[in-house]
Structure 1
Amino acid sequence: MTDWLLQQQIVLSVTLIFLILTVRYLTQAIGAYLTYRLWLMVPLVLIAHNLPASDVSLPAGPVTRFVTGTGQIIATPQGNIYLFIWAAGAILIAAFVISRYMALARDIAGSHCKTNKYAQNYVVSSAVTTPLLFGLMRPRLIMPVFFHSAFSAPQQAMIIEHEQTHLRRGDHLWNASALILLSLFWFNPLTWVALYALRTSQEVSCDAAVLHNKSQTDKILYAKALVQCAAHTTCNNNLYPAYGEKKTMLTRLTQMQKNTKINKTITLATCLAISIFTANTALAKLAGTPVKAEQVNLAQPVMRIDPVYPAEAAANNQEGSVILKFDISATGTTENIEIVDAFPDGVFDESARAALSQWEYKPRVQGGKAMRQTGILVQLDFRLDNTRSSNADELEKISVTR
């Protein structure tokens, strides 16, 4: 799992940096709507980066040789501390998000549902200090208790239109997906910065949709509504800092003051850059990079168990060798183990097979993805002399002709 997570970091980081800079510097040039839609690039690039690639298949070649005797196990599995740290962080973030969501759901459950001429229904709740769209499968409009007293009728209409725009675009689902990605890649600081940039882009895009074709008077009323929301917002708000988060509010007000004029050249260049990057990511997976036979067969186990020396062979002072062919899965386990050759025949075969089935390898990475390797050869030499000068002697490479 940790290997897969690390394999995503280069392409993910490049994508997030591009999007963060786009939100920061190009929103006015390409428009708020397109800026927000560009966040589709994150799942598209991750999918392209994880397209299935063909196996690395090598029927024969140099054999990795290991010498075993009647001694102890020469390698034991060790706990993956990095996996533990990642899992702990992911679980903590997920637990925090779920607990806050459930707490807010309980508070809202006891609130009253109201209806006005601007929406079919919405909930007024003291649990929130800013208007928001809450829920995953059946999202509802939630308004703070001061909604009617603090805002005029035109302001209420525009606020509800803003939240309905979120609902129409399915932003509640995109926000849930963003939190899942944050839980997976929490160790990358760019994911935290990107989450804030995503929410800012989301709000600015909805603002632009609401104010499209609105009069200057309506725009002023809308801006005042944003300021009032910021004034009522508490530090411990909720998981949806849409209207109330003050830094986001300042960004939105700044964007509203600017006259957006789409620059077709910059827009075209941005879309072209995204298309080229995504296409190259996918092609890199499909085409792959040629791997030389000697490079693949140099794969070394990260966890190796010494075969059990057969008691009868040891009693008879019998030595021998077994050559095995096997596959390395994308997770590093050994599969499809076959006996290629053995001397003497049938003496050490089962012991060698049983030991190899427990070995673990670091998966070979090709095009950013862990690859399945087939046709790997290994030779296990059974020697009664347990005096081995160094690990280098154990890992001596020899070539065999089949």
Structure 2
Amino acid sequence: MNELLDGLWQASLWLAVGVVLLAVTRPLLVRLGGAGLAYRSWWLLPLLLATLLIPLPQVALLQHVPTLPLKVVPEAVEGLPASSLQWPLLLLLAWALGASLCLLRDLRAQRRFERGMGGLQARADGSWQASGDPGLPALVGLWRPRIVVGPDFDQQFTAQEQALILQHEHSHRRNGDHWANGVLLLMRAVFWFHPLLPWAARRFLRDQELACDARTIAPQPALRGLYASTLLKAQLVHPVAPAVCHWRSQPVLKERIAMLKQSKRKALPWVSGQVLVVGLCLGVGAVAWASQGGAMAAGPTVAVMDREIRVDKMPPPSYPKSAFEQSQTGVVVLRVDVDAQGAVSDVRVVSATNPGVFEAVSIAAARSWTYRPALKNGKPVAGAVRIPITFAMDESDDVTETAR
């Protein structure tokens, strides 16, 4: 439970770093590579979150991993206050409720938009014609994206204008923009509490439309004026469905028209632009990955220490109430990684003689312990300790450790 909350907190911090970095670098990216390069730079956010799921290499093992046994009996340990035990659960429930409500809201909006289209009829040009118009033309759907036009599409637009609109929506589908919107839907649900995500979502969707306009008009620059007038002929739409790529939306209309009026600028070659974006993503992702723990000691080499890890503060865990009521005993063996500052960087269960009973309280207690780090050549270094925790009903009980 605590690990999930810690992971959400760390992911939220790095998500904020990524959003701020993109906001700062966007003008430079647009100047160097145009709207397409700025849109591709949004890959930074999901890649940042993905790097946080990659575990760090294990710290180097000491020549002799110190063993610090600990015995816990009900009479010797004061139970933690009920409120401190409930806070993680309450926070987790609040996050789950918010994520569920946010996801349900977006799915209902998508369903409402699709119902507003009414019946669909296939057209000869490969698109679909709706009997209603909740904000068409648009690329609608995630698993089976379809280009849907309104009932007055043929009367509202000329043949050349229709071709431009369909090229625009085909470009959305070929580029996988509907999948990008699906990823955005999930991120908005998971990080519903994040203060920067609403702005990031709006800016992402605007860059998506600008990039699609640039891809559509690049092979036919002489049609810029016609493209702009076609945008103005469509009805005003405020996107309300998460898996819809609208032909025209009011919040970004002025920016799209302005982009079309600009003369074609010489930008970075496509490969150079890709290298720039990939380098940005990999660089920031590497920093985020390395930030998960303390020192990264590579390789399985064995280190000889001048001084082994020593205990600073090591309050014992609470005896679980359910285990006490059922007179359950057991041994949990932990491996605790300690960084060069003496703080706990990671806790793992090596073995447990009564699985599922004592592990949670053992890990929770271990994360609060502090140590004096091991010394090598007179300098503090990261290391690890092995801690068997015996849960006994009284001091005379001797619980056999079955796993090493």
- TM surpasses 0.5: yes
Deviation per residue, 1:292-318 (Å, 9 max, x gap): 97589857678653774999xxxxxxx
Partner of 2:94: 85
1:120 deviates by 2.1
Letter in 2 for 1:254: A
1:325 is aligned to 2:336: no
Residues 205 and 296 of structure 1, relative CA distance in 2, 3 Å threshold: farther
Distance in structure 2 (CA, Å) of the matches to 1:224 and 1:84:
50
Distance in structure 2 (CA, Å) of the matches to 1:140 and 1:354:
49
Per mean C-alpha deviation after superposition, the further-off stretch among 102-111 and 183-192 is 102-111
Partner of 2:249: 245
Partner of 1:194: 200
Q: 1:305 aligns with which of 311, 320, 328?
A: 320
Q: 1:224 aligns with which of 223, 229, 232?
A: 229
Alignment map for 1:206-225 (pairs within 5 Å): 206-216=212-222, 218-225=223-230
The TM-score normalised by the length of structure 2 is 0.71
Partner of 2:182: 176
1:36 deviates by 1.6
Secondary structure in 2 matching 1:7: helix
Secondary structure in 2 matching 1:136: coil
Partner of 2:49: 46
Distance in structure 1 (CA, Å) of the matches to 2:122 and 2:310:
67
1:164 deviates by 0.2
Distance in structure 1 (CA, Å) of the matches to 2:317 and 2:208:
45
Distance in structure 2 (CA, Å) of the matches to 1:198 and 1:9:
18
Partner of 1:395: none
Aligned CA RMSD, in angstroms, stands at 4.2
Distance in structure 2 (CA, Å) of the matches to 1:295 and 1:126:
73
Partner of 2:361: 359
Partner of 1:389: none
Distance in structure 1 (CA, Å) of the matches to 2:195 and 2:183:
18
Residues 109 and 212 of structure 1, relative CA distance in 2, 3 Å threshold: same
Kept after mapping to 1: 8 A contact 2:139/2:246: no
Residues 308 and 111 of structure 1, relative CA distance in 2, 3 Å threshold: closer
Deviation per residue, 1:301-351 (Å, 9 max, x gap): 78653774999xxxxxxxxxx98633579997856136xxxxxxxxxxx9x
Residues 92 and 324 of structure 1, relative CA distance in 2, 3 Å threshold: closer
Letter in 1 for 2:8: L
Structure 1 stretches lacking a partner, 5+ long: 312-321, 339-349, 366-372, 385-402
Letter in 1 for 2:361: W
Structure 2 stretches lacking a partner, 5+ long: 298-306, 338-344, 369-383, 396-404
Q: 1:154 aligns with which of 146, 154, 160?
A: 160
Q: 2:352 aligns with which of 337, 355, 362?
A: 337
Letter in 2 for 1:246: Q
Secondary structure in 1 matching 2:123: strand
Q: Which structure is richer in relative contact order (CA contacts within 8 A, separation 6 or more)?
A: 1
Residues 22 and 72 of structure 1, relative CA distance in 2, 3 Å threshold: closer
Kept after mapping to 2: 8 A contact 1:114/1:124: no
Partner of 1:129: 135
Partner of 1:257: 261
Q: 1:278 aligns with which of 275, 285, 306?
A: 285
1:65 deviates by 6.6
Deviation per residue, 1:150-171 (Å, 9 max, x gap): 2222111101000000111111
Distance in structure 2 (CA, Å) of the matches to 1:222 and 1:93:
36
Q: 2:40 aligns with which of 37, 42, 49?
A: 37
Question: How many residue pairs align between the two structures?
Answer: 349
Residues 296 and 161 of structure 1, relative CA distance in 2, 3 Å threshold: farther
Kept after mapping to 1: 8 A contact 2:33/2:267: yes
Distance in structure 2 (CA, Å) of the matches to 1:235 and 1:46:
29
Distance in structure 2 (CA, Å) of the matches to 1:82 and 1:274:
31
1:289 deviates by 4.0
